């Protein structure tokens, strides 16, 4: 029987990172995270930055065997479209009074200008978290506007607007199981 390719898939010009490749990247990141926090006597909290990081965080979480807790922050830097507005808005904050005893690991889908993670790490360090590290599935260093390097990174990607595995364009495509590049006509 002929199976039709779903319309969402057809909006992609090509697959940049397949589901299988994503899985290999997450395996490696999980091993690095595990090695980093293995001997820490403190509580480790993964801070999932909503919404795009949700699938990545879920895959990472289930590969970790050390005790890890979960918190969420919701931050937006993008309006509708593919260009950053340059400022970030925190609409769900991490409110706790015990951060001095905690190792924080911020989970992001992609680092672009670097503003989001740079602002968030500053903020949480100012609130006296014992440590603040950052973990991103994808990094686009060619687009950096501030000096920022993630502690853990799946892979560097070229300057293309990507969707899938949590990443969206106008809230669509988050459910694609791979990372794809949208066809140019989708933007217009």
Among 29, 112, 134, 139, binds ligand IMP (CB under 6 A): 112
Strand partners for 107: 48, 135
Which of Mg ion, ligand IMP, none lies near 161, with the C-beta cut-off 5 to 8 A by kind?
A: ligand IMP
Tokens standing for residue 164: 């899938």
Q: Estimate to the nearest angstrom the gap between the alpha carbon of 94 and the chain centroid.
A: 17
Minimum CB separation of residue 98 from ligand IMP in Å reads 27
Among 103, 109, 178, 180, binds ligand IMP (CB under 6 A): 109
145-174 positions binding ligand IMP, by CB under 6 A: 161-163, 167
Backbone angles phi, psi at 9, to 5 degrees: -65, -40
Among 13, 71, 78, 131, binds ligand IMP (CB under 6 A): 78
Tokens standing for residue 14: 């090509």
31-50 positions binding ligand IMP, by CB under 6 A: none
By CB under 6 A, tell whether 121 contacts ligand IMP. no
Active site residue 159: no
Angle at 165 between CA 43 and CA 141, to 5 degrees: 80
Give the nearer residue to ligand IMP in terms of CB position, either 43 or 50.
50
Q: Smallest Cα–Cα separation from 136: which of 10, 25, 18?
A: 25
Site track 31-70 with Mg ion (rule: CB under 5 A), x = hit: ---------------------x------------------
Burial class (CB in 10 A: 0-12, 13-18, 19+), 1: exposed
Burial class (CB in 10 A: 0-12, 13-18, 19+), 82: middle
Among 33, 56, 60, 108, binds ligand IMP (CB under 6 A): 108
By CB under 5 A, tell whether 114 contacts Mg ion. no
Among 55, 114, 150, 180, binds ligand IMP (CB under 6 A): 114
- State the catalytic residue, choosing from 93, 112, 147, 168: 112
Please give the Cα distance from 14 to 8 (Å, whole number): 12
Active-site residues, by number, are 112
């Amino acid at each position: 029987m002929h199976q039709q390719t779903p319309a969402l898939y057809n909006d992609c010009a090509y697959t940049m990172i397949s589901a299988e490749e994503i899985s290999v990247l997450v395996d490696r990141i999980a091993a690095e995270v595990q090695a980093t926090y293995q001997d820490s006597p403190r509580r480790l909290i993964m801070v999932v930055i909503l919404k795009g990081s949700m699938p990545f965080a879920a895959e990472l979480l289930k590969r970790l065997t050390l005790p890890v807790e979960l918190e969420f922050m919701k931050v937006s830097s993008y309006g509708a479209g593919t260009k950053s507005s340059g400022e970030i808005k925190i609409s769900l904050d991490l409110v706790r009074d015990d951060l001095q005893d905690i190792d924080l690991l911020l989970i992001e889908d992609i680092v672009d200008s670097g503003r989001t993670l740079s602002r968030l790490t500053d903020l949480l360090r100012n609130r006296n978290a014992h440590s603040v590290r950052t973990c991103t599935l994808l990094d686009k260093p060619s687009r950096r506007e501030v000096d920022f390097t993630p502690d853990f990174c799946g892979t560097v990607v070229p300057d293309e607007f990507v969707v899938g595995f949590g990443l969206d364009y106008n809230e669509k495509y988050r459910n694609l199981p791979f990372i794809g590049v949208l066809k140019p006509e989708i933007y217009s």
